[in-house]
Amino acid sequence: MTVSPPLLLAISTSSPALSIALVAGPSVLVCRHELIGRGHAEALVPGIAALLGGQPRPHAILVDIGPGSYTGIRIGIAAARALGLAWGIPVHGVSALALVAAQAFADDQALASILAVIDAGRGQPVGAKVTRGAVVPTARVLTCLPAGEALAGAGVQLLAPEAPTRHAGHPDARYAGLVVPAALGLPTALYLDD
């Protein structure tokens, strides 16, 4: 007997992207990922309602806890906690870097590690080297990119616009089902100074 992965509502609002998805492991049932810049507070709840219309209720919620936009992180966490309370389901936090790394690992099955780099706001590139199947280490502000590392994430462009990347995207909720359970934590904001 095979056990189906749990149905997860994934929310990422730590970047200029509004990213929400209903996933079950690697399967994406529905998703919305678009660059909106600002306006997460106005767009998130209506976006979730539209996304979930006609879909089964999720078993848990994964929310991007940052680092990234202070306001965006707070909006995502507040919405996730409210929905979790209303639906009586658990809410877990996931690092923005874990989402960036999960996309790179999904795109390249042979990739063993990736330097995930995000734009944490105000032009600050923040990153960490993530190994496949491992917990994301503490993020740090980067001033340069180490040679020979595979790179992913929108923050790479802040340091080296010409550097080759596995992808140059913002955290994407579609990949939340691929994040290892050990990398999930409390839905508590993770800021640069943490």
pLDDT in tens, 94-143: 999 999 999 999 999 999 999 999 998 888 899 999 999 888 888 899 99
Handedness of CA 113, 189, 72, 26 (dihedral sign): positive
155 and 76 in a common domain: no
Structural domain includes residue 19 = yes
84 and 12 in a common domain: yes
Ordered DSSP codes for 51-101: HHTTSPPPSEEEEE--SS-HHHHHHHHHHHHHHHHHHT--EEEE-HHHHHH
Q: Give the pLDDT score at 133.
A: 85
* DSSP character at residue 158: H
Confidence of residue 151 (pLDDT cuts 50, 70, 90): very high
Structural domain includes residue 189 = no
Q: Looking at per-residue confidence, does 150 or 1 come out higher?
A: 150
69 and 117 in a common domain: no
Beta-bridged to residue 31, according to DSSP, are: 21
58 and 87 in a common domain: yes
Question: For residue 109, how many C-alpha atoms fall within 13 Å in the half-sphere facing its CB?
Answer: 0
Distances (CA, A) of 20 to 64, 65, 178: 10, 14, 15
pTM for the full model? 0.94
- How far is residue 185's CA from residue 164's CA, in Å, rounded to a whole number? 31
Question: For residue 47, how many C-alpha atoms fall within 13 Å in the half-sphere facing its CB?
Answer: 26
133 and 76 in a common domain: no
127 and 83 in a common domain: no
Structural domain includes residue 193 = no
Give the E-state strand segments of the chain in sequence order.
8-12, 17-24, 27-35, 60-64, 91-94, 113-119, 125-131, 140-141, 151-152
Per the structure, the count of domains in the chain is 2
Domain hosting residue 152, numbered range: 97-159
Spacing of C-alpha 15 from chain mean position: 9
